[in-house]
Amino acid sequence: MVALDVILAVTCCTCAEKLAVTVRCEGEGLMSGSEGKALFQLTCPYCRQPNHVIFAPETGEVVDVLRALHILRRPEPSVN
């Protein structure tokens, strides 16, 4: 299995602090040579808000950083 360690420079989308992170990418998709993207969740150590980081594993280019949204669902009452 192929593995890549990628160093990324990311800016938190909530507090705008600059962060440097190292992520390990593994899988068969790295061997295909495709220009796929990867996503992971990063919690900012400064403001504690989760960010979704989208990047290209082959180049280490950060495509986008988005605020992670947590969708809360209310249970629907049973009709029994």
Q: Is residue 37 part of a domain?
A: yes
Q: Is residue 44 part of a domain?
A: yes
pLDDT in tens, 15-68: 999 999 999 988 877 766 667 888 999 999 999 999 999 999 888 899 999 998
Tally of structural domains, the chain:
1
Q: Mark residue 30 as left, alpha or beta (left: phi above 0; alpha: psi -120 to 50; beta: remaining).
A: alpha
Q: Is residue 76 part of a domain?
A: no
Select from 58, 39, 60, 61 the least CA-distant residue to 50.
39
The separation between CA 19 and the C-alpha centre of its own chain, rounded to angstroms, equals 13
> Which H or E element spans position 23?
strand 18-26
CA distance 29 to 65: 22
Q: What per-residue confidence (pLDDT) applies to 50?
A: 93
Q: Is residue 78 part of a domain?
A: no
Q: Is residue 74 part of a domain?
A: no
Q: Is residue 25 part of a domain?
A: yes
Global confidence as pTM = 0.76
CA distance 53 to 67: 9
Domain that holds residue 31: 3-67
CA distance 7 to 26: 14
